[in-house]
């Protein structure tokens, strides 16, 4: 059993140690080149417009991007790699809602510019270095 003074020293020592670890990890994160991994130099007006549309239409209410959002509809972080640009454009420019595997995609009636902005956003998201996440599935099993 620790005395009151020992408990206080234990708490303060632990706080200092974990604060130093937090600082070291923060410095490591910032110095590891976040702009290089996110390719922030490739953020154009179209990418920003696509992100605004993504947010205004609450796409995260159904979809997941960067591991955030809902799990009702497909994950969109690497959708360009998985499905291709033509498929994504076709889905976004559809004039009527449609269901795939029982999950309904709303028809938003996007203009051609809006579809191109969303595709530009998904292309930018596709190029972000996720440090190997999600891992490639082992299909040999």
- Nearest-CA neighbor of 40 among 131, 120, 128? 128
Predicted local confidence at residue 124, as pLDDT: 94
- The residue among 31, 22, 50 whose CA lies nearest residue 59 is 50
Q: How far apart are the C-alpha atoms of 9 and 21, rounded to whole Å? A: 18
Tally the domains of the chain.
2
DSSP state of 78: T
Structural domain harbouring 11? 1-31
Q: Can you give the pLDDT at residue 112? A: 94
- How far apart are alpha carbons 101 and 135 in whole angstroms? 24
Contact of 98 with 104, CB cutoff 8 Å: yes
Q: Do both 10 and 62 map to the same domain?
A: no
- Give yes or no: residues 60 and 23 share one domain: no
Stated pTM of the model: 0.74
Residues 78, 116 within the same domain? yes
- What is the DSSP secondary-structure string of 88-139? HHHHHT-SS-EEETTEEEP-----HHHHHHHHHHHHHHHHS--TT-SPPP-T
pLDDT of residue 12: 97
Burial class (CB in 10 A: 0-12, 13-18, 19+), 40: exposed
Q: What is the pLDDT of residue 134?
A: 66
- Quick one: 78 and 23 in the same domain? no
Q: What digits encode the pLDDT tens for the residues 79-116?
A: 999 899 999 999 898 888 877 777 888 888 899 999 99
Residue ranges with strand state E in 1-141: 64-65, 68-69, 98-100, 103-105
* 61 located within any domain: yes
Residue 36 lies in a domain: no
> Within a domain: residue 141?
yes
Looking at residue 103, its pLDDT comes to 81
46 shares a domain with 27: no
Both 127 and 86 in one domain: the answer is yes
Is 108 part of any domain?
Answer: yes
Q: What's the pLDDT at 105?
A: 86
Q: Which residues of the chain have pLDDT under 70?
A: 134, 141
């Amino acid at each position: 059993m620790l005395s009151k003074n020992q408990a206080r020293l234990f708490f303060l020592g632990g706080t200092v140690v974990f604060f130093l670890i937090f600082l070291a990890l923060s410095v490591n994160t910032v110095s590891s080149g976040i702009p290089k991994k996110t390719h922030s130099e490739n953020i154009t007006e179209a990418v920003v417009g696509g992100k605004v549309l993504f947010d205004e239409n609450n796409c995260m209410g159904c979809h997941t991007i960067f591991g955030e959002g809902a799990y009702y509809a497909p994950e969109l972080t690497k959708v360009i790699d998985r499905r291709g640009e033509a498929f994504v454009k076709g889905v976004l420019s559809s004039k009527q809602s449609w269901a795939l595997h029982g999950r309904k995609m709303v028809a938003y009636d996007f203009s051609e510019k809006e579809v191109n902005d969303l595709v530009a956003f998904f292309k930018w998201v596709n190029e972000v270095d996720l440090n190997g996440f999600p891992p490639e599935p082992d299909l040999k099993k």
